[in-house]
Amino acid sequence: MKVKSKLADVDFEFGHFEYKKDHLIIHSAASQSMQSKVYISPDDVLSAVGKALIQPMVWAYIIGFPFFLIRYRKRKALRKKSKSS
């Protein structure tokens, strides 16, 4: 997952998940140079799901997901192949 902001552009790779005091905590992968944690509360989940479900583009993405996944993986494989050549 790529996170972009005015402060930094970060590639976040999911590591392990943890549950603590009603929060889901997502740790970054151990291989990442900048270790980070994302704390998600129950209110965060409700807010995100509520906002996502009223957006037509989210529904389009969900419906088209199999196509997007295949296209993404093909492009990624082509980039990897062209870099190694």
Residue 14: phi and psi, rounded to 5, are -65, 135
Helices and strands per DSSP (H, E), number in the chain: 2, 5
DSSP code for 33: S
**Contact residues for 45 (Cβ-Cβ < 8 A; gap 6+):** 24
- Kindly tell me if the per-residue pLDDT of 70 is higher than 80: yes
What is the pLDDT confidence band of residue 85, given thresholds at 50, 70 and 90? low
- Kindly tell me if the per-residue pLDDT of 73 is higher than 80: yes
Q: What is the pLDDT of residue 51?
A: 96
Find residue 4's DSSP bridge partners.
9
The domain spans of the chain are 1-41, 55-85
pTM of the complete model: 0.68
Q: Render pLDDT for 33-66 as a digit per residue (tens, 0 to 9).
A: 888 899 999 999 999 999 999 999 999 999 999 9
